[in-house]
Chain A
Amino acid sequence: MKAIHYINQFFAGIGGEEKADHKPEIREGLVGPSLALNSMLDAEVTHTIVCGDNYMGSNTEEAVSTILGFLEGKEFDIFVAGPAFQAGRYGVACGTICKAVKEKFNVPVLTSMNEENPGVEMFKRDVVIFKGGKSAAKLRDDVKVMAEYGNKVLTGKALGPADEEGYFSRGIRSQVWLESEATAAQRGVEMLIRKLKGETYETELPIPKQDMVPIAPPIKDLSEANIALVTSGGIVPIDNPDRIQSASATRWGKYDISDIENLESGVYKTIHAGYDPTAADLDPDVVVPLDVMKEYLREGRIGKLHKYFYSTVGTGTTQAEAARMGREIVENLKEDKVDGVILTST
Chain B
Amino acid sequence: MKLEIGNFQVNDVVFGKKTEFSGGTLTINKEEAMTFIKEDEHITDLDIVIAKPGENTRIVPVKEAVEPRIRPDGRPVFPGVTGDVEAAGEGKVHALKGCSVLGVGMHYGSFGDGLIDMGGEGAKYTLFSELINICIVADTDEEYERFEQQKKNTAIRMATHRLAEYLGNTVKELEPDTIESFELEPVTKRKKEINDLQSVVLVMQPQSQMEEIGYNDLVYGWDMNKYVPTFMHPNEVLDGAMISGSFMPSSSKWSTYDFQNFPTIKELYKEHGKSINFLGVIMSNLNVSLEQKKRSSIFVAQMAKSLGADGAIVTEEGYGNPDADYILCIAALEDVGVKTVGISNECTGRDGASQPLVTLDEKANALVSTGNVSQLIELPPADKVIGELEALARDGLSGGWAYDEILGPSVREDGSIIMENNAMFCGDRIAGWSTKTMKEF
Task: Write the residues of chain A forming the contact surface with B, with a CB cutoff of 8 angstroms.
Answer: 125, 159, 161-163, 169-178, 181-189, 191-193, 195-197, 201, 203-205, 207-210
Known A169-B441, A171-B353: A189·B267 in contact at CB below 8 Å: yes
Whether B185 sits at the interface, judged by CB under 8 Å, is no
- Check B362 against A196 for contact (C-beta < 8 Å): no
Closest to B270 in A: A189
- Check B268 against A189 for contact (C-beta < 8 Å): yes
Whether B438 sits at the interface, judged by CB under 8 Å, is yes
A161 to B340 alpha-carbon distance, docked (Å): 27
Chain A residues, Cβ within 8 Å of B340: 192
Known contacts A177-B435, A207-B364; can you find 4 more A-B pairs with CB under 8 A? A197-B198, A207-B367, A208-B360, A209-B362
Closest to A169 in B: B440
| Interface pick from B131-139, B148-156, B228-236, B344-352 | B344-352
Chain A residues, Cβ within 8 Å of B440: 161-163, 169-173
Chain B residues, Cβ within 8 Å of A201: 366
Chain B residues, Cβ within 8 Å of A187: 368, 437
Closest to A208 in B: B360
Q: Annotate B311-351 by CB proximity to A: 1 below 8 A, 0 otherwise.
A: 11101000000000000000000000001110100101001
A174 to B350 alpha-carbon distance, docked (Å): 9
Whether B369 sits at the interface, judged by CB under 8 Å, is yes
Cβ of A167 to closest chain B Cβ, rounded Å: 9
A192 to B432 alpha-carbon distance, docked (Å): 14
| Interface core residue of A177, A192, A195, A209 (most chain B CB under 10 Å) | A192
Closest to A194 in B: B366
- Check A196 against B264 for contact (C-beta < 8 Å): no
Whether B372 sits at the interface, judged by CB under 8 Å, is yes
- Check A207 against B432 for contact (C-beta < 8 Å): no
Closest to B367 in A: A205
Known A185-B432, A203-B365: A172·B441 in contact at CB below 8 Å: yes
| Interface core residue of B275, B341, B370, B436 (most chain A CB under 10 Å) | B341
A209 to B264 alpha-carbon distance, docked (Å): 29
- Check A185 against B264 for contact (C-beta < 8 Å): yes
Chain B residues, Cβ within 8 Å of A193: 198, 271, 275-276
A182 to B437 alpha-carbon distance, docked (Å): 10
Main secondary structure of the interface of B (DSSP, over half): mixed
Q: Annotate B411-441 by CB proximity to A: 1 below 8 A, 0 otherwise.
A: 0000000000100000001111111111111
- Check B352 against A184 for contact (C-beta < 8 Å): no
A177 to B437 alpha-carbon distance, docked (Å): 6
- Check A188 against B433 for contact (C-beta < 8 Å): no
Closest to A198 in B: B339
Chain A residues, Cβ within 8 Å of B343: 184-185, 188
A176 to B437 alpha-carbon distance, docked (Å): 6
A169 to B437 alpha-carbon distance, docked (Å): 16
Whether B143 sits at the interface, judged by CB under 8 Å, is no
Chain B residues, Cβ within 8 Å of A203: 365-367
Closest to B436 in A: A175
9 A–B pairs (Cβ distance < 8 Å), ordered by A: A162-B439, A173-B438, A174-B375, A175-B372, A177-B124, A185-B343, A188-B267, A195-B311, A196-B276
Chain B residues, Cβ within 8 Å of A175: 371-372, 375, 421, 436-438
Chain A residues, Cβ within 8 Å of B356: 173, 205
Closest to A201 in B: B366
Chain A residues, Cβ within 8 Å of B368: 184, 187-188, 191, 204
Nearest 10 A-B pairs (CB), nearest first?
A: A185-B432, A161-B439, A172-B352, A169-B440, A185-B263, A185-B267, A204-B369, A205-B367, A184-B434, A173-B348
- Check B369 against A205 for contact (C-beta < 8 Å): yes
Whether B3 sits at the interface, judged by CB under 8 Å, is no
Closest to B373 in A: A175
A37 to B314 alpha-carbon distance, docked (Å): 49
The residue from B276, B362, B375 contacting A210, defined by CB atoms under 8 A apart: B362
- Check B124 against A196 for contact (C-beta < 8 Å): no
Known A172-B348, A205-B357: A161·B441 in contact at CB below 8 Å: yes
Chain A residues, Cβ within 8 Å of B346: 173, 205
Chain A residues, Cβ within 8 Å of B369: 204-205
Cβ of B419 to closest chain A Cβ, rounded Å: 14
Closest to A159 in B: B441
The residue from B276, B361, B430, B441 contacting A173, defined by CB atoms under 8 A apart: B441
Whether B99 sits at the interface, judged by CB under 8 Å, is no
- Check B360 against A195 for contact (C-beta < 8 Å): no
Q: Annotate B63-76 by CB proximity to A: 1 below 8 A, 0 otherwise.
A: 00000000000000
| Interface core residue of B343, B421, B441 (most chain A CB under 10 Å) | B441
Cβ of B441 to closest chain A Cβ, rounded Å: 4
Task: Please report which residues of chain B, range 255-281, place their CB below 8 angstroms from some CB of chain A when the two chains form the complex.
Answer: 263-264, 266-268, 270-271, 275-276
